[in-house]
Every structure is written in structure tokens, then in C-alpha cells.
Chains A and B, each alone.
Chain A
Amino acid sequence: MKMGVFVSDYKMAGDTLQRLKADGIVLVLNGVYHAFIKEGGKPSPVLDRASNIYALSEDIETRGLSAGSIDSRVKVVNYNGLVDLIFSDYEKLAWL
């Protein structure tokens, strides 16, 4: 796959993501809120921007979020899984 995008903010990433053709999105730091929060009852539009969405387990646990309430489109990965994604799955990475 060509492009993976790291999203590390809850806000501010949406507009830029719309312009990128990302194959995968990795939610890290405050970006993990996209996998949980349903603002106004709606899931984050960030989850529609790529077919593969990942969220970092350590950042989820840090924030007291429960894996039970995660969006079904999101796969949870730990640091080792993240390293595999970086080195094996994507030719290019962007950090937002």
C-alpha cells in the first residue's frame, strides 16, 4: 500500500485528510478519540477516509477509553504492531 497517515489530533486533521489519498490511517495520541467519540451521535468522518484504520492500544488505555466502545472499523494495534505497519505495509507515511 502506498500511503499511511498518522493522525495525532482529535480535530484539525479532517481537512488535510480529505486531500490525501490514504490507504491506511493510524490513530495515535489524541487521534484515538476518532475511534470512540460520536460527536452529535455520529462517528468521526475520519473513519471514512481509508479502508484500513488502526488505533494504538497504549494511547487508548492512557485515556481510559474502553475497547468495548470502539468503532467496529478500527483495528487495535500495540507498539510492535505499529512498527510492523511502518516497515512492512506502507511505502510512504505522513504525520498529521
Chain B
Amino acid sequence: MADVKLAIVVQKPQYKGETSRLGITHAISYQTVEILLEDGDTVTPKLCFIGEGVLGLEKGQKAMEAYGVTSSETHLKNALLVDLDVFICKDDLDRFGISTDRLPDAEDMGADKKLQFVPYSEIQKIIDEARHVLFF
């Protein structure tokens, strides 16, 4: 029996394509459904946002009104609600001039988890420790 660590890294902005939100959905799936890579294994996913991926994290998104799709903000809140560890690259937030108070939490949905703002070195460590790394 082993703990299989997964690093799911979102590096593209949302909405022009489905890729980024698919990454979040994958992470939530691994967290909520018992997906066994091999019998007896447990799976621990970690969701990371780097580069232009951090652009899609602003709160107050109105994707449903404009595009008729759920917002990546909603997906992010759901990730926190299911206690997924979500790491945001602070270096990239700083590079794009995005302050952390512009990003949502899921307190209104009853989530205890918060977004974790970390330097890229921390995300590199998560990638190094993961058995599988998925880029979206």
C-alpha cells in the first residue's frame, strides 16, 4: 500500500479553452472519488497554479452570465470545499501585479481550507515529490 502523490499544475489562463478548468476538475475528482492507480494505493492530489494560470483566479467572475458555463472561481471554491490543497505561485501573482485579496476563498460555502500562496520553490518541491505530474 502506497500513497501516490499527484501534482496537477495549471499554467494557462481560463476560458479560451477548457484545459485549465479540466485540470481543476481532475484534481477534485482525485480528491473526492476513490481512484486507485493500483490496488491498495491511496492518491493525494495537489493543485498548483503557476505562470498565466494565476490569471484565472480572480473573484467576482461572471462566466455563467456571459458564456453560460460555470466559472473557474466556482471550481476553485469546490476544490477548497473538498479539502484539496491548492497552491498559488506567489512569484507569479507578484509578476502580474495581482494582490492576494483579489482571489477568493470558500468560507461562504463552509470550507475550512484556504488558498496557499507559496514561492515557486515550494511548487517545485511538490513537483519533485509527486509520482505523476500533470500540466494543464
* Chain A residues near B (Cβ < 8 Å): 8-11, 29-30, 33, 37-41, 58-59, 61-66
Tell me whether B16 is interfacial, beta carbon within 8 Å.
Answer: yes
Tell me whether B40 is interfacial, beta carbon within 8 Å.
Answer: no
Interface pairs (17), CB distance under 8 Å: A8-B16, A10-B52, A29-B16, A30-B15, A37-B96, A37-B98, A39-B95, A58-B66, A61-B65, A61-B66, A62-B65, A63-B56, A64-B58, A64-B61, A64-B71, A64-B73, A66-B60
Other A-B contacts than A37-B98, A61-B65, A64-B61, 18 sampled, CB-CB below 8 A, are: A30-B16, A37-B55, A37-B96, A38-B96, A38-B97, A58-B66, A59-B15, A61-B61, A62-B15, A62-B62, A62-B71, A63-B15, A63-B61, A64-B58, A64-B62, A64-B71, A64-B73, A65-B58
A63-B67 Cα distance, complex, nearest whole Å: 11
